[in-house]
Structure 1
Amino acid sequence: MQSFVRRHTVGVAGVVSALALAVVVAAVRGVIPAGLLPTYEPLVSVIPSLNALISATAIATIALGWRAARNRDFTRHRALMGASTLLFAGFLALYLYRLVVHGTTEFGGPDAVYQFLYLPVLIVHMALAMVCVPLVVYALVLAGTHSVAELPGTPHARVGRVAASLWLVSFFLGIVVYLLLYVVY
């Protein structure tokens, strides 16, 4: 199986990314029925704050993982980027669960703030998150199918730098969205 994935890295990353994004789009569009999942209200109410904490932690693990790679500490890099991926998966699972069982949260601030700050930040955050998925998946597939010695001969480092940069900005903007929705307004 690993040899198949290794030979078809782009295709495998594309299929995994398409499936992941399809689940997100299905949840956002309301295709997944709320009755499909049990509703545990104490969890639903803390998910936004929990996801902000997960985002802040992911920012730290991505930055530390990037630094570890620059210092050629690839064992630490792998562990930190694996942690970043698990944090993102946890964030996404919690976000989608809340979206399906609770729906979206209306912005409670002034219309001018909504139009000129909140909405642009939200749109950029979501766009970067969607762009990051295939880049991160591709970097992970490369890392999972090649030894550390082989990775310099792949696009892993180049794609990883772009993915990490966009991922950092997306997580940061997600925290800004949280603050605008749940703290400021």
Structure 2
Amino acid sequence: MRTRIWWLPTLLITAAAYTALGYLLLMPRQAAGADTALATFLPHAIAAVNTLTIFVLLGGYVSIKKKKVRYHRSLMLMAFALITAFLTMYLARLYLGGVKHFTGPALLRDFVYLPALTIHLGLSILSIPLVLYNILTGGFLPTAEVGSTLHRRVGRWAVRLWTLSLALGVLVYILLNYL
């Protein structure tokens, strides 16, 4: 069974990603960065990429339900490319010091913003190994061999968690920027 060979690369890539993110979160930020045009533009670009990724993921989900495997594979690889672009922009925004604080009403902060942000972050962390496993198995194995892996079972959870995380991320963006 081919399932066993994919846990190690998934584990290594996930550990490397978490390590890099932790390092970037702890390193000193550029003090003047928050005032740059790039730091101002990035949150909007991130929200646009995340919104597009939601639609691509849903298209991939629908396509596999219709047994359009090649189209599904293409859409899921596109979603992964988009999320990689998101991660690059997100890390650049953090480095530039473009962190924004919620300035809306306290009631909205306590009962909508903070729960949405907490769930978004938790789902993002949970999604990474699931998405990586499915990209490695579905994106690089021959189609005939994918069925002998946990790709389908993991994918059901990955797409749900990832889509919900993205949707909550867009909600957090709206709450931060338009309230």
TM norm. shorter chain > 0.5? yes
- From 5, 11, 14, the equivalent of 2:11 is 14
Q: Which runs of 4 or more aligned residues in structure 1 lie more than 6 Å from their structure 2 counterparts after TM superposition?
A: none
Identity of aligned residues (%): 31
Any unmatched runs of 5+ in structure 2? Answer: none
Moved more, 121-130 or 16-25: 16-25
Match of 2:155 among 139, 150, 160: 160
Counterpart for residue 62 of structure 2: 67
CA RMSD of aligned residues (A): 2.0
Comparing 85-94 and 107-116, the one that deviates more: 107-116
Query: After superposition, where does 1:58-137 map in structure 2 within 5 Å?
Result: 58-137=53-132
Checking the alignment, whether the CA contact within 8 Å between 1:6 and 1:145 is kept in structure 2 is no
Q: Measure, in 2, the Cα distance between the counterparts of 1:55 and 1:24.
A: 18
Q: Give the secondary-structure state (helix, strand or coil) at the position aligned to 2:84.
A: helix
Distance 1:90 1:171 in 2: 14
Q: Deviations over 1:112-144 (max 9, x none)?
A: 221221111000000001111000001111124
User: Structure 1: any 5+ residue segments left out of the alignment?
Assistant: none
**Structure 1: distance between partners of 2:120 and 2:173:** 11
Q: Tell me how far apart the structure 2 counterparts of residues 63 and 126 of structure 1 sit (CA, whole Å).
A: 20
Q: Which residue of 24, 27, 31 corresponds with 1:27?
A: 24
For 1:89 and 1:40, locate their aligned partners in 2 and report how far apart those are by CA, in whole Å: 25
How many residues end up aligned between the 2 structures? Answer: 176
1:13-38 Cα shifts (integer Å, max 9, x gaps) = 0110111122222223x22x435xx8
TM-score normalised per structure 2: 0.91
